């Protein structure tokens, strides 16, 4: 279904100079759906428009999940709603989508986008919840289990591109990194709590950082001299320390951000709980697909599906990971590290 073209806003935020500089002042980035021509131009340049997220491996996900009219699908990581929209369309007529996301900032926007598509009333139920709590959601929404489950792990482009969320280092922002800013503590506070050995373990386990000990010492040494409270301050410390190691310092920066983000949001604990709960959430013949973006995630998914197959929970699982085509990777470089696995409930 096509969305009606919304009207452009009458007033733009005020800013100094010809173009807005600060992310908060940019108006197209906050309402990309109102500027389809600009969005198309950005996409044709192989980039993701800020304020949007390009869903990855959509046709492959639809192929492995095989949605049919009347089925109940769960999108555990709603994000911008791209995969959800495809699933919702594919289970019509008569099907339902249950959507989950921890992010209280993006979820209402995704909800408005999905509702604007005009699917039948009652076909969409959204919950601002961690997918570790999927059994609790389903106890109310679909006690007999569901037909399809999708999880597209990690961050959305909207989260990465908004400097106020503190996930990225291209623009400066508070060193926060919480997907739900109302829960837990920001990454800067986590640094104050961690001992060197603890930070080294996070860097090694969450991001396979080969120089974890040295990097942890550099980060906590700098944090003790002057608390690291912005993303650029942390990136600068990691970059300077990593200049002594072989390999590009930017990779060490990316790994350090990944390691902290996973710790701040308890991502591995949530994924482990979700993987344990999955067989109990699917009907017989139900399908699950999981998109992961780094080895820590993919290892867990591969192990859980393999063990589930041995234990008789799954009738079949993906033999190999499914990767984006060269064309999709070129078209959307953010898809490059994606790995898709699926399983079918016995």
Ligand X SMILES: C[S@@+](CC[C@H](N)C(=O)[O-])C[C@H]1O[C@@H](n2cnc3c(N)ncnc32)[C@H](O)[C@@H]1O
What residues line the site for ligand X (CB under 6 A)?
Answer: 53, 55, 76-77, 79-83, 100-103, 106, 130-131, 152, 154-156, 179, 270
* Of 59, 77, 63, 68, residue with least CA distance to 283: 68
Smallest separation (angstroms) from ligand X to the CB of 189: 20
Smallest separation (angstroms) from ligand X to the CB of 204: 22
Distance CA 156, CA 258 (A): 14
In terms of CB distance, is 102 or 212 closer to ligand X? 102
Tokens of residue 186, six digits:
């920001």
Smallest separation (angstroms) from ligand X to the CB of 227: 26
Q: Going by C-beta distance under 8 Å and a sequence separation of 6 or more, which residues neighbour residue 240?
A: 218, 249
- Which residue's CB atom is positioned nearest to ligand X? 79
In terms of CB distance, is 179 or 281 closer to ligand X? 179
In terms of CB distance, is 15 or 23 closer to ligand X? 23
Smallest separation (angstroms) from ligand X to the CB of 186: 16
* Of 49, 266, 271, residue with least CA distance to 177: 266
Q: Going by C-beta distance under 8 Å and a sequence separation of 6 or more, which residues neighbour residue 304?
A: 275, 276, 278
In terms of CB distance, is 54 or 309 closer to ligand X? 54
In terms of CB distance, is 105 or 217 closer to ligand X? 105
Output phi, psi for 273, to 5 deg.
-65, -40
In terms of CB distance, is 92 or 180 closer to ligand X? 180
Q: Which helix (H) or strand (E) holds 100?
A: strand 96-100
In terms of CB distance, is 289 or 317 closer to ligand X? 289
Distance CA 221, CA 274 (A): 36
How many C-beta atoms lie closer than 10 Å to residue 174's C-beta? Answer: 16
In terms of CB distance, is 36 or 248 closer to ligand X? 36
* Of 148, 146, 91, residue with least CA distance to 287: 148
Smallest separation (angstroms) from ligand X to the CB of 245: 29
Smallest separation (angstroms) from ligand X to the CB of 99: 10
Smallest separation (angstroms) from ligand X to the CB of 301: 13
- With contact defined as beta carbons under 8 Å apart, do 97 and 84 qualify? yes
Smallest separation (angstroms) from ligand X to the CB of 236: 27
In terms of CB distance, is 74 or 76 closer to ligand X? 76
Smallest separation (angstroms) from ligand X to the CB of 75: 7
DSSP-derived secondary structure for 209-270: -TTHHHHHHHHHHHHHHS---BHHHHHHHHHHHHTTSSS-HHHHHHHHHHHHHHHHTTHHHH
**82-90 vs 107-115: helix crossing angle, rounded to 10:** 30
Question: What burial letters (b/e) apply to 245-269, b meaning 16+ CB within 10 Å?
Answer: eeeebeebbbbbbbbbbbbbbbbbe
């Amino acid at each position: 279904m096509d969305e009606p073209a919304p009207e452009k806003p009458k007033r733009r935020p005020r800013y100094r100079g010809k173009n807005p500089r600060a992310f908060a002042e940019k108006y197209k980035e906050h309402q990309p759906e109102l500027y389809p021509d600009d969005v198309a131009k950005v996409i044709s340049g192989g980039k993701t428009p800020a304020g949007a997220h390009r869903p990855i491996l959509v046709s492959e996900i639809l192929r492995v999940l095989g949605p049919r009219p009347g089925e109940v699908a769960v999108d555990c990581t709603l994000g911008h709603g791209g995969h959800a929209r495809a699933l919702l369309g594919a289970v019509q007529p008569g099907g339902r989508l249950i959507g989950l996301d921890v992010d209280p900032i993006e979820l209402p926007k995704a909800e408005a986008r999905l509702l604007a598509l005009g699917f039948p009333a009652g076909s969409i139920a959204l919950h601002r919840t961690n997918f570790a709590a999927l059994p609790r959601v389903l106890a109310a929404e679909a006690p007999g289990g569901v037909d399809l489950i999708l999880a597209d792990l990690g961050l959305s482009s909207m989260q990465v591109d908004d400097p106020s969320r503190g996930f990225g280092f291209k623009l400066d922002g508070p060193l926060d990194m919480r997907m739900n800013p109302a829960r837990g503590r920001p990454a800067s506070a986590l640094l104050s709590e961690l001992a060197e050995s603890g930070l080294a373990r996070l860097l090694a386990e969450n991001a396979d950082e080969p120089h974890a000990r040295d990097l942890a010492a550099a980060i906590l040494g700098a944090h003790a001299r002057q608390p690291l409270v912005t993303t650029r301050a942390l990136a600068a410390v990691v970059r300077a320390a990593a200049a002594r190691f072989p390999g590009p310092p930017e990779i060490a920066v990316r790994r350090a951000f990944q390691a902290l983000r996973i710790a701040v949001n308890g991502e591995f604990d949530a994924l482990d709980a979700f993987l344990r709960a999955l067989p109990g959430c699917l009907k017989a013949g139900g399908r699950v697909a999981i998109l992961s973006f780094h080895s820590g995630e993919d290892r867990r998914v591969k192990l859980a599906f393999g063990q589930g197959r041995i234990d008789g929970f799954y009738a079949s699982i993906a033999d190999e990971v499914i990767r984006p085509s060269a064309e999709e990777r070129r078209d959307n470089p953010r898809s490059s590290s994606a790995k898709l696995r699926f399983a079918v409930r016995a």
